[in-house]
Chain A
Amino acid sequence: MSVSDPAAHLREELRALERAYTIGHHGLGVAGRRAGLVDACLVELFERAGSPAGVAILAIGGYGRMVQLPASDIDLLVVHDDDASIGATVDALLYPLWDAAFAVGHAVRTPEECLAAIERFDAWTAMLDGRLVVGDETLADRALAPVRARAREDPAGFARRLRDAADARRARFGSTAHLLEPDLKEGSGGLRDVASLGWLAAAFGTDLESAGLVRARERAAVDAGAGFLVRTRSAVQLLTGRRADRLVSELQPDVAREMGFVDEPNLLATDGLMRSLFEHARNVEHVVGLALARATAGTTGDPVVIADAGAILEALADAAEGGEVPSVGLLDAIEDVTVPQRVGWDARTRAAFLRLLRSGGSGSGMFDVLDRVGLLERFIPAWTGVRCRPQRDPYHRSTVDAHLVAAAAGMAELLAGSGDADDPIELSAVAQVERPDALLLGALLHDVGKIGTGGHVPIGTAIARDTLDAMGVAGPERDLAVFLVEEHLLLPDTATRRDLSDEDLLLDVAARIGTPERLGALYLLAKADAFATGPAAWTPWRETLVRELVAKVQRVFDRGEMGEELAARLAERTERLRQLLDGEPDEQIHRFILRVPRSYLLAVDPGRAAQHFRIVMPPLGRNEVRTAASAGSRAGSYEVVVVASDRPGLLSWIAGALAIGGISILAAQAFTTEDRTAIDVFEVEGAFEPEITEARWRAFRNTLRRTIEGSISLEHRVREKGRHYPRPRMPSPVTIRVLNDVSEFSTVIEVGASDRIGLLHDITRTFADLHLGVHLAKVATFDGRVVDAFYVRDELGRKVTEHSLLSGVESALRERLEP
């Protein structure tokens, strides 16, 4: 070859090579040709330098293995015999390459220095890949032979160093086998692992099959993996034009297209690429791990014999519980068991599987083993849908299956009490767990519905149910596990997206959850899920919100405001109401049910509520008052519902207007909707004239409307009305209790007093004067004595916490009510 500038010529040839293949097809063959072109250039440059004697030019590292990638450095080792003029030779080689903008990694050493350089393990392994490109063959041999011999002195020791290096890489770069943005070179299961097998072979001085370290099937899997990884990494480098090793998300669609992946049903092209990559990397990771384990084990001990699928799980569970890694003998024995395509579950298999789950981190290592030898899918057929499946989500870092195994391991650690000692919710939740296995199974299956189609929660719930049935998990255990899968997003989604000061929201969440045990289980799952997702999923920000929600829902249970029975009653009443409203537009029914407080749905008979629907739903004018009356619960009584826009003092005006109209209140329940419409339901009777005609209702409405408009003042009239009637002769004492721990959002004020005309007006007027709004009221009369409970809030809608105001309420009420 004679060209004016060999390096520039190399550049042209490499460009031609790039053009000859599409970006996605630069595999091992092309990498080899690329290395060949570099060789030719170096030969030419060496000759132009006068082919100096006593110098050998060696290719090392990937280039030495004839795997030269598009943007990789050209790694050279110049060996010389302590030649004083070596500097000039090196310049003659390197300057042309540098001028043509090649990145060259180079070392200049004597043979003795080569041997000394093996102190650095990466320099050692790079030289194990060394081959002579041009120059003094004897010198090259003098340099490389001792380096190889040193590795052969103690192959097992060398294998241990390879294993340590692999562990360090895994810790630093993670795994190419499940990370969503994997490092194709340094990650566990990446190209460096593939190269490790070559170094291992160098240490054993023979091919690994002959050494009994790798089986033929395993070799084939690694070769296929190497080809795929090289194609992928080359595509990344060609697309970015840089020496890039990480397959970041932005690049994945382009790489997938270039490598010929197309969208398939339930699997986007990008996901197809990633799934193939993960499968190959898992094979590489597994075989390399196995080969290194076999190489370091020395003797494999007594041969392990495993009879069937259940025994595999038992053996792995034993190892996991002992905190051991599976022995080579065990792994080999597992590979030799004939396992049916679908394993039938029995008590023994189930027990061993649960032992694996309970073993946490060491158990999850065993799940990896089962996965790598293709057995996990035989135990859990649904696993196929999530295996190696990437997920598109800014928080997730791993494939769905790796995430599930990590979440189950995290749950095991939480249950073992190795979590956060400063998290009282976690501690309490762990303490009340009655069915730990259900929590582990829930964690293992929570995302099993992520199969590339539809909403993963309903799909996952159905899959989890089938899977647990097939496993023979039954009864409350199964129900709790299915519940966890179905509701695993409830806490984090509600906490971060909904208003936690909405009482009905808390009641709804409590109704969906049902029991404190389930609430605690969901909290533990939220935590295990987040920790398995990635560092951004459980920030103090999220934690504070989720804890706030859990604490509030727990207090709902503690106060008995919601529970399994109430939830069932609420569901039953809501359903009944829907039936009664049949014929009304669905959207209106739905809105009505969402608008009214849960306390309303629980307290008001569905038949009554269906009647209320008609006067609550039409848009309400600012000063409008609506009433609807029907027969009450006893002879001569009426039930009247009053609907108006809520405002401070409204309840006192209604009570006052009723008093003025000669209508006695027997019982009352006052509700406020989220959009501040008051729905106040009264059981009344005529104080003097038993019959309450429509004309009297009209008069009541008028009085109330004019009061709301501000055209009349009720205060004086109610007092006047009361003056004409004697006070009760034997007045029972006024009792007042101010309670701040009964409700999450309201201060509850209980008032007992002898009944009299205008009493409810007086009580509620007092609240209005103190700028307290009545959010909910329950009023009842027994034998001439009134027992009332008012849920009041301050002007900003908060529970009243100010001491002076709390004591002021009591004294103001006494002043007003005591004769």
Chain B
Amino acid sequence: MKLVTAIVKPHRIDDVKDALREIGVSGLTTTDVEGFGRQRGHTEVYRGAEYQVDFVPKVKVEIVVDDGDVDGVVDAIVKAARTGKIGDGKLWVGEVERVMRIRTGEMGPDALSG
């Protein structure tokens, strides 16, 4: 099993959710996050007054999927989150050792389905 983590623009999250639902992903976790990549922090100007924006708001999406579903999930996220402009975000995939559904005690892929 793999953990797919994506950092996307806030306004793309609904499209990402829809795209994942369409390919049958039944659960995901999102978190409002802030950070910076190549964009770094920047100075905003409001009516002559400057203020520093150190971190850019993004949404983090996390999904645990069966190995065979990784490519489909990655594709769906990338397509839905891409605007072609700077700051579209990042995505990475990592190994997951163990998954358990807390209510039933089901383990592994059983804990992911349904």
Contact = CB atoms under 8 A, between A and B. Distances in A.
B90 to A, nearest CB: 16
A497 B11 contact: yes
Contacts of B11: 496-500
A539 B86 CA distance: 24
Contacts of A558: 47
A796 to B, nearest CB: 5
Interface stretch (A19-27, A205-213, A322-330, A547-555): A547-555
Interface in B44-75: 44-47, 49-51, 53, 55-57
A497 B53 CA distance: 19
A496 B85 CA distance: 18
Nearest to A547: B44
A129 B85 CA distance: 70
B34 interface: yes
Contact of A539 (B32, B45, B51, B85): B32
B55 A544 contact: yes
Interface string A500-542: 1100000000000000000000000000000000000001111
Contact of B86 (A422, A428, A548, A798): A798
A497 B49 contact: no
A424 B44 CA distance: 10
Contact of A496 (B10, B34, B49): B10
A497 B10 contact: yes
A554 B49 CA distance: 12
Given A424-B51, A499-B11, A499-B83, A554 B46 contact: yes
Interface centre among A427, A496, A798, by most chain B C-beta atoms within 10 angstroms, is A496
Interface string A676-690: 000000000000000
Contacts of A547: 44, 46, 51, 53
A501 B85 CA distance: 9
B9 interface: yes
B34 A544 contact: yes
Contacts of A428: 46-47, 49
B49 A541 contact: no
Q: Which one of B9, B50, B51, B57 has the greatest number of beta carbons of chain A within 10 Å? A: B57
Contacts of B86: 796-798
Given A428-B46, A428-B49, A554-B47, A545 B10 contact: yes
Which bracket fits the contact residues of A? 20 to 34
Contact of B85 (A427, A551, A796): A796
Contacts of B56: 544
A384 B36 CA distance: 48
B84 interface: yes
Nearest to B10: A496
A771 to B, nearest CB: 14
Interface string B68-102: 00000000000000011110000000000000000
B34 A424 contact: no
A425 interface: yes
A141 B70 CA distance: 76
A540 B34 contact: yes
A541 B32 contact: yes
B33 interface: yes
A120 to B, nearest CB: 41
B77 to A, nearest CB: 17
A544 B11 CA distance: 14
Contact of A497 (B14, B44, B46, B51): B14
Contacts of A550: 46
Q: Which of B10, B14, B56, B83 has the most CB of A within 10 A?
A: B10
Contacts of A551: 44-46
Contact of B57 (A427, A544, A796, A798): A544
B45 A545 contact: no
B60 to A, nearest CB: 11
Contacts of B55: 540, 544
B7 to A, nearest CB: 13
Interface string A185-228: 00000000000000000000000000000000000000000000
Interface of A: 422-425, 427-428, 496-501, 539-542, 544-545, 547-548, 550-551, 554, 558, 796-798
Interface of B: 9-11, 14, 32-34, 44-47, 49-51, 53, 55-57, 83-86
